[in-house]
A and B are shown apart, each in its own frame.
Chain A
Amino acid sequence: MRRNAFQFLCLMAGAAGVLGAQDADKIAAVESAVKSAQSAGDNAWMLASSALVLMMTGPGLALFYGGLVRKKNVLGTMMQSFVLMAFITVLWALVGYSLAFGEGSRFIGDLRYALMNGVGMDPNPTYAATIPHLTFSVFQLMFAIITPALITGAFAERMRFSAMLLFMTLWALIVYFPMAHMVWGNGGLLNAYLGGVFPCFDFAGGTVVHITSGVSALICAIYLGKRHGYGSETMKPHSMVLSFIGACLLWVGWFGFNAGSALGAGGLAASAFVATHFGAAAGALGWMLAEWFKHGKPSVLGGISGCVAGLVAITPASGFVKPMPALLIGLAAGFLCYMMVTAVKQKFGYDDSLDAFGVHGGGGTLGALLTGVFATNQVNSAQINGQTVPLGLVDGNPGQILNQAIGVGVAILLAVVGTFIALKICDALIGVRVDVKEEVTGLDLSMHGEEGYSLEA
């Protein structure tokens, strides 16, 4: 539409032949009005998207995770998500945004935007030419919040609060900011559009968000060890109702996450919106069917877990694939993640309490690889080095699967090493795990001095 308007103007200009100074002024005025209208439209969508992505963490993820733990840990679990909304925001304002999106090196940004220096109402054309730099920065912040919040599912019910804050600070500095820079930052190692070495397509964070958080979750689950009483005590979800509401909020919020990653309100946003929705729907059905077949009953928890799995897998692909591949990716993620949290978890015996690794590590990897298969320039026409090139296998570029695998490999390596280092430091300074008495009492009382449900009140 925008291009059409511009072509129309050129045509008009051509038809008029030689232009008078007055006409040139008029055209300039119309051009400026078109630009400002586009900017307003894009900015409206991006601000709404930013708010939607924040809603995914609180209340979305907080409710989803909060319902899955035992009663005595409901507040402690919700608090872990909530405090990251505050904590990562401050970190982002101080250095986070700059380390992720400053020019810097192949691996990490520099400090040019530290303290939000130079991040204002004018666009940063390198990343998004039609929205204020502030909007871009705050949108990306919401991703930096939810990614560590996803990890909290792996160490639910047993991590010390103060240690968690220190861990998340280190994790953001060692894993998230570098990974975001490598994939999305100008000149990053894996950036497909801004001069990367290995062009890896990751529209909304399959590698940056889901593989890093999922793999880090596994390392946390193994490092912290199993919950006290794991395998002998009942550890079933205390409120499927809370989890249900949380998962549905995640589904809705994910439109901001993926369609917002178009960084504008155009056709690509619509395409990503539809792909996202289709992925979620197919994922829900995939998991439910697998469970129905295996256990004889389709469960609510299976349905909502499958929906999240589908959303995770479609995330890197959402701005690159057509609707039918989106259905396929979602369905495959539903099946795969069901296997991850049942068969795989049981076989290896780690206590990934809320299945952050199974769903985000498994679904994220699947989605990142399948993006290499189904990405097509019929959906995403953004040019690479000034020309339109075939994107994935369906475009006749099978080599892209290898590029995707390199992105996956870098994310896994960084997550494993970074998480281990961060945990070691926290353990030495504070001790990552609560003591047995505190764990038996529950995090609500032992960490926060409150109860989620009070019988006396």
Chain B
Amino acid sequence: MKKIEAIVQPFKLEEVKEALKGIGIDGMTVAEVRGHGRQKGHKEVYRGQEYNVDLLPKVKVELVVPDQRCDEVIRTLLAAARTGNIGDGKIFVYDVAEAIRIRNEDRGESAL
């Protein structure tokens, strides 16, 4: 099993969700986060006082999938989340040791 962690632009969340649903991925966890990579940020001015805002709002989508579906999910995420501009986000992939469904203690891929 792989855990896929995609940090995407907040306004892309709906498209990402729809695209994942389209390939039969139902489960996911979403968090509102802040961060930046190369994008850096922007300047805000309040009554002449300048503030550099470098941590920008992003959405983190986490999902765990069977190994054989990993590439397909990544391709889907890339297509749905990309605008081609700086700040589109990143995808990280991890190995998952175990998955357990709390309700009935199903283990492994059947718990996904």
> Is B11 interfacial (CB-CB < 8 Å)?
no
- A299 x B46 contact (CB < 8 A): yes
- Looking at A234, A236, A291, A305, the one whose CB has the most chain B CB atoms below 10 A away is A236
Nearest A residue to B47, CB-CB: A341
> Is B45 interfacial (CB-CB < 8 Å)?
yes
- A237 x B46 contact (CB < 8 A): yes
- B48 x A301 contact (CB < 8 A): no
8 A Cβ contacts from A78-130 to B: none
Residues 27-59 of chain B: 1 if any A CB is under 8 Å from the residue's CB, otherwise 0? 000000000000000001111110100000000
Nearest CB in chain A: distance from B25 CB, A: 28
- A236 x B48 contact (CB < 8 A): no
CA A297 to CA B43, docked complex, whole Å: 12
**What residues on B are CB-neighbors of A295 within 8 Å?**
45, 48
CA A295 to CA B45, docked complex, whole Å: 8
Residues 16-29 of chain B: 1 if any A CB is under 8 Å from the residue's CB, otherwise 0? 00000000000000
> Is A302 interfacial (CB-CB < 8 Å)?
yes
CA A295 to CA B49, docked complex, whole Å: 10
- Looking at B45, B48, B51, the one whose CB has the most chain A CB atoms below 10 A away is B48
CA A297 to CA B51, docked complex, whole Å: 15
How many chain-B residues does the 8 Å CB contact rule pick out? 7
CA A301 to CA B47, docked complex, whole Å: 7
**What residues on B are CB-neighbors of A302 within 8 Å?**
47
CA A301 to CA B51, docked complex, whole Å: 14
> Is A346 interfacial (CB-CB < 8 Å)?
yes
- B51 x A355 contact (CB < 8 A): no
> Is A7 interfacial (CB-CB < 8 Å)?
no
Residues 83-97 of chain B: 1 if any A CB is under 8 Å from the residue's CB, otherwise 0? 000000000000000
Nearest A residue to B49, CB-CB: A236
Interface residue ranges, A against B (CB under 8 Å): 234, 236-237, 291, 294-295, 297, 299, 301-302, 305, 338, 341-343, 346, 355
Interface residue ranges, B against A (CB under 8 Å): 44-49, 51
**What residues on B are CB-neighbors of A299 within 8 Å?**
45-46
Nearest B residue to A358, CB-CB: B47
Nearest CB in chain A: distance from B101 CB, A: 27
Nearest CB in chain A: distance from B63 CB, A: 24
Nearest CB in chain B: distance from A69 CB, A: 12
- A342 x B51 contact (CB < 8 A): no
CA A338 to CA B44, docked complex, whole Å: 17
**What residues on B are CB-neighbors of A301 within 8 Å?**
46-47
CA A342 to CA B49, docked complex, whole Å: 7
Nearest A residue to B51, CB-CB: A236
Further contacts, 18 of them, CB under 8 A, given A341-B47, A342-B48: A236-B44, A236-B46, A236-B49, A236-B51, A237-B46, A291-B45, A291-B48, A294-B48, A295-B45, A295-B48, A297-B45, A299-B45, A301-B47, A305-B47, A341-B48, A343-B48, A346-B48, A355-B47
**What residues on A are CB-neighbors of B51 within 8 Å?**
234, 236
Nearest CB in chain A: distance from B87 CB, A: 20
**What residues on B are CB-neighbors of A338 within 8 Å?**
48
CA A294 to CA B45, docked complex, whole Å: 11
CA A234 to CA B50, docked complex, whole Å: 10
CA A341 to CA B46, docked complex, whole Å: 10
CA A291 to CA B46, docked complex, whole Å: 10
Nearest B residue to A355, CB-CB: B47
CA A338 to CA B45, docked complex, whole Å: 13
CA A16 to CA B46, docked complex, whole Å: 71
CA A346 to CA B47, docked complex, whole Å: 11
**What residues on B are CB-neighbors of A294 within 8 Å?**
48
Nearest CB in chain B: distance from A355 CB, A: 6
Closest 5 CB pairs of A and B: A342-B48, A341-B47, A236-B51, A295-B45, A236-B46
Nearest B residue to A294, CB-CB: B48
